[in-house]
Amino acid sequence: MPLTSELTLASSPRAAADARRWVGDICRRLERHDLVECAELGVSELVANAIIHARAPYKVRVRGTASHPRIEVVDGSTSPPVPPPGPIAQDDLDLLLTFGRGLSIVAQCAVAWGATIEADGKIVWFEPAQEMREEPTAEWVMDVHDQLPPEPLSEAALEVRLIGMDVPLHASLSRQYGELRRELRLLSLSHQTDYPLAGDLTSMFASFERQFPDSFREQVRDAEERGAPRVDVAFPMVREASPIFVTMTEMFDVADAFCRAERLLSMARTPHQRSFHNWMLGELINQLDGSEAQPWPGVPDDHSASQAG
């Protein structure tokens, strides 16, 4: 089953030791004793590096699955880390017992590693190896998510409306979607051979996002800031976007199946998220085809996971 665990760290010299112990315990609970040494060494280095060079908040996460766990260290700085320049000397064992030496040890402890730069900070991550390498040969991946500008609107753009949109449910779906998008970007960058479709899906998702104008995001963000449970939004959209939404409706179902089969490390949409997502995409498709807007009906209390198939 997919896993997501998170620990908030204090801004103190104890942070690296706390993270090391916490990550080691999770690996043992997952019965991945083969990863404990590399997981502990790698997370110690990343946390120490964050405390020295970045700023709060500091968090450590373990995400993915027992088969493919990924360790992430989050900080509040958008400055990218500097990857190691090449092999490092190891004169004695004491070098391995110190932390804050930079990122060379992480590269030695990892199958793959890198960083995601976001608007309010960064995530430095690694997938722990079963044994430490003599040289920092793991592939380094830099992931900067620059949101592309919306597609230009033609004079024939239509106004579409989403009536009674569930604001908290949309927010939770946006977080889930963001994790899925990031997962696909990382796979397309670091595991293209194993996941050849990741790059194509990333491009499709980028095209999907560009169909939504800034006015849509602004209305939703305003409703979230006001704490509104529901909101009506209206925004322009071109008819040519409809086939993209039809395709993406199918692609989101495929992504859910991949997540449940642990071929992706993200969580699948919950049944409530899927119902809301299908309503939203269906409204866009139908209205661009000339139908009248229909309000979000909500989710019955007995809506179960069996309806997600």
Looking at residue 81, its pLDDT comes to 79
Residues 166 and 249 in one domain: yes
The average confidence (pLDDT) of the chain is 83
Residue 273 lies in a domain: yes
In whole angstroms, give the CA distance from residue 253 to residue 21. 38
Contact between residue 92 and residue 120 where contact means Cβ atoms under 8 Å apart: no
Q: Which residue range(s) make up the domain with 202?
A: 158-308
Q: Answer for the pair 167, 220: CB distance below 8 angstroms, yes or no.
A: yes
274 and 196, same structural domain? Answer: yes
Choose one of 115, 144, 173: the last residue of a domain. 144
Question: Per the confidence metrics, is the pTM higher than 0.75?
Answer: no
Q: Are 55 and 7 in contact (CB under 8 A)?
A: no
Same domain, 279 and 214: yes
Task: Residue 119: give its domain's CATH number.
Answer: 3.30.565.10
Is the residue at 150 inside a domain?
no
Q: What is the mean pLDDT of residues 32-37?
A: 95
Q: Is residue 267 part of a domain?
A: yes
Between 219-223, 277-281, 299-303, the lowest mean confidence (pLDDT) is in 299-303
Highest mean pLDDT, choosing among 68-77, 80-89, 134-143: 68-77
Pair (184, 102) in one structural domain:
no
User: Do both 134 and 14 map to the same domain?
Assistant: yes
Contact between residue 44 and residue 23 where contact means Cβ atoms under 8 Å apart = no
113 and 208 assigned to the same domain: no
Q: Provide mean pLDDT across the span 257-275.
A: 84
Residue 292 within a domain: yes
Could you say which of 114, 144, 174 is where a domain stops? 144
Assess if residue 88 is contained within a domain.
yes
pLDDT over threshold 90, residue 232: yes
Query: Rounded to whole angstroms, how far apart are CA atoms 255 and 261?
Result: 10
Q: How many domains does the chain have?
A: 2
Looking at residue 149, its pLDDT comes to: 61
CB 243 within 8 A of CB 208: no
Pairing of strands 69-75, 58-64: antiparallel
